[in-house]
A and B are shown apart, each in its own frame.
Chain A
Amino acid sequence: MNEHRILVIGGGPAGMETAYQLKNLGLNPVIIERSDKLGGNLSRWDRLFPTSEPAEALLEKLMEQTKDIEKKLNAKITSIEKENNIFHLKLSNGINYKADAIVLCTGFDLFKAEKKQEYGYGIYNNVITNAELEKYFKTHNDERINEPKRIGFVHCVGSRDVKVNNTYCSKVCCATALKQACEIKEEFPEADVYCFYMDLRMFGKGYEDIYLKAQKDFDIKCVRGRVCEVSENIEGKLVIKAEDTLLGTPMKMTLDLLVLMCGMEKSKSSNEIQKMLNISNNEDGFIETRDLFSGLNLTKEKGVFVAGACTSPKTLPETLAEARSAAMEVFNYLGFQDVRN
Chain B
Amino acid sequence: MIDFGFCISKSSHIMMDDIDLKYFNKLETLNPDIKTCMSCGLCTATCTAGNFTDMSFRKIILMLQRGKDKEAVRLVKKCMMCGKCMMLCSRGINTRNILLSITRIYNE
Whole-angstrom distance between the Cβ of A252 and the nearest chain B Cβ: 5
Q: Cβ of A292 < 8 Å from any Cβ of B?
A: no
Partner among B13, B58, B59 whose Cβ is within 8 Å of the Cβ of A251? B13
Q: Cβ of B70 < 8 Å from any Cβ of A?
A: no
Q: Cβ of B9 < 8 Å from any Cβ of A?
A: no
Whole-angstrom distance between the Cβ of B4 and the nearest chain A Cβ: 28
Asked if residues B14 and A221 are in contact (CB atoms below 8 Å), the reply is no
Asked if residues B15 and A252 are in contact (CB atoms below 8 Å), the reply is yes
Partner among A211, A221, A250, A254 whose Cβ is within 8 Å of the Cβ of B12? A250
Partner among B38, B58, B65 whose Cβ is within 8 Å of the Cβ of A221? B65
> Interface readout for B45-79 with A: 1 if CB under 8 Å, 0 if not?
00000000000001100110110100000000000
Cα–Cα distance between A249 and B66 once the two chains are bound (Å): 9
Asked if residues B36 and A253 are in contact (CB atoms below 8 Å), the reply is no
Shortest Cβ distance from B36 into A: residue: A215
Shortest Cβ distance from B39 into A: residue: A246
Asked if residues A250 and B14 are in contact (CB atoms below 8 Å), the reply is yes
Partner among B14, B63, B68 whose Cβ is within 8 Å of the Cβ of A252? B14
Q: Cβ of A216 < 8 Å from any Cβ of B?
A: yes
Asked if residues A252 and B16 are in contact (CB atoms below 8 Å), the reply is yes
Asked if residues A219 and B35 are in contact (CB atoms below 8 Å), the reply is yes
> Interface readout for B25-44 with A: 1 if CB under 8 Å, 0 if not?
00000001001111100000
Q: Cβ of A224 < 8 Å from any Cβ of B?
A: yes
Asked if residues A247 and B17 are in contact (CB atoms below 8 Å), the reply is no
Asked if residues B32 and A216 are in contact (CB atoms below 8 Å), the reply is yes
Q: Cβ of A241 < 8 Å from any Cβ of B?
A: yes
Whole-angstrom distance between the Cβ of B40 and the nearest chain A Cβ: 11
Contacts of B63 in A (CB 8 A): 247
Asked if residues B66 and A251 are in contact (CB atoms below 8 Å), the reply is yes
Cα–Cα distance between A215 and B16 once the two chains are bound (Å): 19
Contacts of A216 in B (CB 8 A): 32, 35-36
Cα–Cα distance between A249 and B59 once the two chains are bound (Å): 12
Partner among B58, B62, B91 whose Cβ is within 8 Å of the Cβ of A244? B62
Give the interface size class of chain B: 20 to 34
Q: Cβ of A25 < 8 Å from any Cβ of B?
A: no
Asked if residues B39 and A249 are in contact (CB atoms below 8 Å), the reply is no
> Interface readout for A208-243 with B: 1 if CB under 8 Å, 0 if not?
000110011001011010000000000000000100
Shortest Cβ distance from A253 into B: residue: B16
Contacts of B59 in A (CB 8 A): 246-247
Asked if residues A250 and B39 are in contact (CB atoms below 8 Å), the reply is no
Given A221-B65, A244-B62, A246-B62: A251 and B16 within 8 A (CB)? yes
Whole-angstrom distance between the Cβ of A236 and the nearest chain B Cβ: 15
Shortest Cβ distance from A244 into B: residue: B66
Which chain A residues (102-128) contact chain B, with CB distance < 8 Å? none
Asked if residues B35 and A244 are in contact (CB atoms below 8 Å), the reply is no
Asked if residues A244 and B14 are in contact (CB atoms below 8 Å), the reply is yes
Given A221-B65, A241-B13, A249-B12: A212 and B39 within 8 A (CB)? no
Partner among B13, B17, B37, B62 whose Cβ is within 8 Å of the Cβ of A250? B13
Contacts of B62 in A (CB 8 A): 244, 246-247
> Interface readout for A247-278 with B: 1 if CB under 8 Å, 0 if not?
10111111000000000000000000000000
Asked if residues B66 and A247 are in contact (CB atoms below 8 Å), the reply is yes
Asked if residues A251 and B39 are in contact (CB atoms below 8 Å), the reply is no
Subset of 17 A-B contacts with CB under 8 Å: A212-B36, A212-B91, A215-B35, A215-B36, A215-B38, A216-B32, A224-B39, A244-B14, A244-B66, A247-B68, A249-B13, A249-B66, A250-B12, A250-B13, A251-B16, A252-B17, A254-B17
B residues neighboring A (CB under 8 Å):
12-17, 32, 35-39, 58-59, 62-63, 65-66, 68, 91
Per CB-CB distance, the 3 closest pairs between chain A and chain B, nearest first, are A253-B16, A251-B14, A247-B62
Further pairs besides A216-B32, A216-B36: 9, Cβ < 8 Å:
A215-B35, A215-B38, A219-B35, A222-B38, A246-B58, A246-B59, A249-B12, A249-B14, A251-B13
